[in-house]
Structure 1
């Protein structure tokens, strides 16, 4: 009973910890106001037209999360069927398959890391307030010609002629690219997970082909943000760096995967020529 209480308490702490990261991210997105940065009158990089998004925020979040979760559950079920899982567990007298525990652990760590990297990316967005490439098309700024703040050519005192405050707010959130950060984070987390656990001797290249597809998916997301005029190339590069750092830290230091080798009972009998060495090793150890 004490072990059960400790397990439930640990699960509660996990969710509370996740909430401590997710709640500031939600509040920042809903209530936050980005820094109102000025612009140079001759800056052509912010005069591109507004275009529809190739990969929307909802599609990326839903698709990326679903792919990672389905992959993790599939890998753990496959490992459990081959006898490489952690074994069954009991909770409140109910038998819980081992693959459920492993999936919960891996998905929970993935979600926590995803929330952390999104919070870090969005904090930078709101603090820096870099203008998107389509800022001029969205804001249609009207500079105050009599203001001394604009005398040096850097326009600080201006008003947007567009009434859509949502579009104007979003046009100030260019650096870094949260799309690119989440895409590369999810891709690398999945790549590491497949490399560590999805070991199948039936094909040498299948596993690496899936890993390459995940990497190319993240690369496509980043490129689409530049093509759609939502980010400068440096925004995407910074997003890739942010997502990569969090993927490595999350997988290596939080998930902390073990080296899953074959059990000793699966390694077979020693060869006849090695019997003498196998028998003599304990004696030498003494």
Structure 2
């Protein structure tokens, strides 16, 4: 709900700035994470949930997948709402603010600049640096998915002992890359990205371990180790 309200708000907080602030003079670069890449990143958790539930056969697929999806979406909306609240109420200027604003003259302290940008939506967006939505959202998604992978591949066959950490490491690497790209593209300051990554990770851990821990629980007989499988087969031999 906060995201819907704030996205329809007229303007974020108008924060003044000093024209000599070097942190606002970066060029306006195209974003590394394009629309297609953003869609693929957001689709990844749903894909992993689906594959995991199919191969682990825990409960009924529809029931378990629905619980996972709704819990995940609850956390995603919570993360996005927290981020948008901070963005609109703090109004931290992005590193490329001056390049987007296109002032005729800039001297000393300016509280309300008269920007010459063709699209005022770009100016509004350039006031929403703190903290990084991309970083917080993707880190939440990847940590949540990494926790899911840990529960579904824990105590299974020997090959999972290598595959599980490899998947989890790559998931976190995706989130870190997205965060780094926001700094490299001059879309966010480093502290914006770091706080976004921290918020996403903390929220995912809180949901998994405190708010909805039952969503990740596995039945004891759902995944067996190699030794347990051999014992089960031996007990079935007449």
Which residue, 187, 191, 207 being the options, matches 1:230? 187
Which residue, 117, 124, 135 being the options, matches 1:180? 135
Distance 1:144 1:239 in 2: 31
Does the 8 Å CA contact 2:14/2:112 hold for their aligned counterparts? no
Structure with bigger gyration radius: 1
Instruction: Return 157-166 or 216-225, whichever deviates more.
Output: 157-166
Which residue, 36, 49, 52 being the options, matches 2:27? 49
Unpaired runs of at least 5, structure 2: 233-238
Which residue, 65, 73, 85 being the options, matches 2:50? 73
Do structure 1's residue 261 and structure 2's residue 216 form an aligned pair? no
Count of residues in correspondence between the two structures:
224
Shift of 1:144: 8.6
Does the 8 Å CA contact 1:50/1:134 hold for their aligned counterparts? yes
Distance 1:72 1:32 in 2: 38
Does the 8 Å CA contact 1:144/1:157 hold for their aligned counterparts? no
Q: Which residue number in structure 2 is paired with residue 272 of structure 1?
A: none
Counterparts of residues 56-95 of structure 1 (less than 5 Å): 56=34, 58-59=35-36, 61-80=38-57, 85-86=58-59
TM-score by length of 2: 0.86
Unpaired runs of at least 5, structure 1: 1-22, 87-97, 146-152, 270-286
- Cα deviation, 1:5-36, whole Å, max 9, x if unaligned, reads xxxxxxxxxxxxxxxxxx43133223352111
Shift of 1:253: 2.5
Does the 8 Å CA contact 1:140/1:160 hold for their aligned counterparts? yes
Which residue, 198, 201, 210 being the options, matches 1:241? 198
Distance 1:115 1:224 in 2: 23
Do structure 1's residue 166 and structure 2's residue 128 form an aligned pair? no
Do structure 1's residue 129 and structure 2's residue 86 form an aligned pair? no
Distance 1:183 1:262 in 2: 33
TM-score by length of 1: 0.72
Does the 8 Å CA contact 2:19/2:106 hold for their aligned counterparts? no
Cα root mean square deviation, aligned = 2.3
Distance 1:78 1:239 in 2: 33
Shift of 1:142: 4.8
